[in-house]
Amino acid sequence: MTSIDKKKKLRPSILDRLIDNDPGSNVEKDPDQQQKLKQLRNSVRRDLENLLNTRFRMLEPADEYTELKKSLLNYGLPDLATVNISDTIKQKEFVDHLQSILVDFEPRFKSVKVNYVKNANALDRSLRFRIDATLYAEPSPEIVVFDSIIEPVTRTINVEETSHGR
């Protein structure tokens, strides 16, 4: 990855610049550095949730097609109805798989670690995990922490930034 020019200010992605969060207003305010950083964090959270709630249906590609595993054909997670996360070994495998997906498909992360979070209530069947990451940001990299949960009924993943990352 190329290095970031220190003279460049933090700038939202082109998609975030095209999205109008206040369509009723004709005047656009130029956000300060803190607001831009907050917008970056929010867009990363939104994009993470979209990535983790996208399902692909492709079978495992043949070994000779190594680059295919990192292509858009494999963007997202497999259908969670087919994933067994009932025991601790399978949960660890799933969390490791999540981490590899984030490494492959979230280029704004300088580093990322996904950890399984044990449920406080033994009757709670949801799977919880924490994403600890360092974002490429200027003037310095930004640490973010996202607590995530897989809803057992809908098999959707909710991603929320926690105060640990601030």
Stretch 58-72: mean pLDDT, rounded?
78
Phi and psi, residue 102, nearest 5°? -65, -40
Burial of 101 (0-12, 13-18, 19+ CB in 10 A): buried
Give yes or no for a contact between 80 and 56, defined as CB atoms under 8 angstroms apart.
Answer: no
Stretch 19-33: mean pLDDT, rounded?
74
Distance CA 145, CA 147 (A): 7
User: What pTM was estimated for this model as a whole?
Assistant: 0.78
Q: State yes or no: pLDDT of 165 exceeds 60.
A: no
Q: State yes or no: pLDDT of 57 exceeds 90.
A: no
Where are the domains positioned within the chain?
33-165
Name the residue with higher pLDDT: 10 or 108.
108
CATH number of 33-165: 3.10.450
Q: State yes or no: pLDDT of 152 exceeds 70.
A: yes
Name the residue with higher pLDDT: 163 or 156.
156
pLDDT at 13: 66
Distance CA 6, CA 19 (A): 26
3-class DSSP state of 76: coil
* Pairing of β 142-150 and β 157-161: antiparallel
